[in-house]
Amino acid sequence: MKRIRMTLSLLVAAALLLPLLNSCEKINKTFAEGDYVAFLDTMAYYPVEIDEKGFPIEIAASSTRDYDRTYGVEIVSSRSTAIEGVNFTLSSDNIVIPAGQRTGKIEVLGKYDSMESSDSIGVELRLIVPREAEWDLYDGFLNTKVIFTKQCPQNVDNFLEDGGNFIFYAQFPFSDYQVQRTLVKATKIDDERLQFSPLFDDTMPITIQFIQGEPLNPVLKVSEQEAFITSDYGIVLCETAEGYPNYFYSCDRVLSFYLLFSSDRVGTFGTYYYALQWISAREAEYYKNFGFPDY
């Protein structure tokens, strides 16, 4: 799983796990004589998936010892919004650094069914160590916070439930001022691609690729393809605009993306935002018969 680490964690990892080369004699002496311990991260983002894999929380020491070292871990309730036993469990309330090693870990196990897609909850942990094991230079690394984010299955079949009906939100090329809504349907091409029609033209379905494998970075891609035809531009091509946020959200079944448009006649001429929102077959039938409600 991908972990987003605070920039400072790189500093503490280097300080705890690597020799302090080219440092002044005083710092070298202090580091060598001490047995300092700290978390490797001050914050981490944990994508809780349906298979509920454990998420490692690691500590590191400044030196090795020929015996096991055990440190306590406590939950800082006043700074936590996740509830132990409801939203998560800890594999242990102790972390052991085995003899001859510098690192140890426990695991946090998030509970998938206890979370909503919109939740942003977390738990703060404090490492309990003797005072002599605290290194003032890295004050604050005795605490770490884990933020839980629910990650629904990324497979494209999740977006095809109940008929694969969507609302397409678009301004260009339909209106200069107001976002238009239309009903579209998705069909499966393969395990990574869906085809949506009609978006811009009934005869030109748009294929969207779901880049899978990174729970915290669910990117989508529209390769260059024909979108529609006009008398001014001729055949208009579209593709996802680089440098813009182009994502899919599996729990809410939403696609959010920017398209870059071009044609042989005029070249590249604009970038516009679009969204696709999954709806049930019953909702699709209602909107088809009665239209969309006012904004």
Task: Annotate 30-96 with DSSP letters as a single string.
Answer: HHHH---EEES-SEEEEEE-TT---EEEEEEESS--SS-EEEEEEE-GGG--S-BTTTEEES-SEEE
Checking phi first, is residue 190 left (phi over 0); if not, alpha (psi -120 to 50) or beta? beta
DSSP 8-class letter at 139 = T
Q: What is the pLDDT of residue 139?
A: 62
Q: Answer yes or no: is pLDDT of 204 > 90.
A: yes
Q: What is the pLDDT of residue 30?
A: 36
Question: Which amino acid, 48?
Answer: V
Q: Spell out the domain ranges in the chain.
A: 7-150, 156-290
Residue-wise pLDDT for 177-196, tens only, equals 889 999 999 999 999 999 99
Residue-wise pLDDT for 78-92, tens only, equals 999 999 999 999 999
Q: Answer yes or no: is pLDDT of 171 > 50.
A: yes
Q: Answer yes or no: is pLDDT of 2 > 70.
A: no
Percentage of residues of the chain with pLDDT beyond 70: 86
Residue-wise pLDDT for 125-142, tens only, equals 999 998 887 766 666 689
Residue-wise pLDDT for 43-69, tens only, equals 999 999 888 889 999 999 999 999 999
| Band of residue 34 on the pLDDT scale cut at 50, 70, 90 | low
Q: How far is CA 71 from the centre of its chain?
A: 31
Q: What is the pLDDT of residue 83?
A: 96
Closest CA to 255 of 208, 292, 192: 208
CA 114 to each of CA 15, 30, 54, 93: distance values in angstroms, whole numbers, following the listed order: 38, 46, 15, 22
HSE-CB of 180 using CA atoms within 13 angstroms: 13
| Angle at the Cα of 89 from the Cα atoms of 71 and 155, rounded to 5 degrees | 125
Q: How many CB atoms lie within 10 A of CB 224?
A: 11
Q: How many CB atoms lie within 10 A of CB 152?
A: 18
The stretch 264-291 carries a mean pLDDT of 96
Could you give the CA distance from residue 150 to residue 160 in angstroms, rounded to a whole number?
A: 20
Average pLDDT, whole number, for the chain? 87
Q: What is the pLDDT of residue 121?
A: 95
Residue-wise pLDDT for 251-271, tens only, equals 999 999 999 999 999 999 999
Taking every pair of Cα atoms in the chain, the longest distance, rounded to a whole number of angstroms, is 80
Superfamily of structural domain 7-150: hypothetical protein (bacova_03559) (2.60.40.1740)
Q: Answer yes or no: is pLDDT of 228 > 60.
A: yes
Residue 274 in tokens? 């679009």
In the block, tokens 């009934």 appear at 202
Could you give the CA distance from residue 12 to residue 177 in angstroms, rounded to a whole number?
A: 51
Percentage of residues of the chain with pLDDT beyond 90: 72
CA 62 to each of CA 6, 30, 66, 202, 237: distance values in angstroms, whole numbers, following the listed order: 20, 11, 14, 65, 57
Q: Answer yes or no: is pLDDT of 152 > 80.
A: yes
The three-class DSSP label of residue 277 is strand
DSSP, residue by residue, 195-253: EEESSS-TT--EEEEEE-S-TT--EEE--SEEEEEETTTEEEEEEEPTTS--EEETTTT
The stretch 267-279 carries a mean pLDDT of 97
Q: What is the pLDDT of residue 215?
A: 76
Q: How far is CA 38 from the centre of its chain?
A: 26
**Beta carbons of 278 and 253 less than 8 angstroms apart:** yes
H or E stretch at 146: strand 143-150
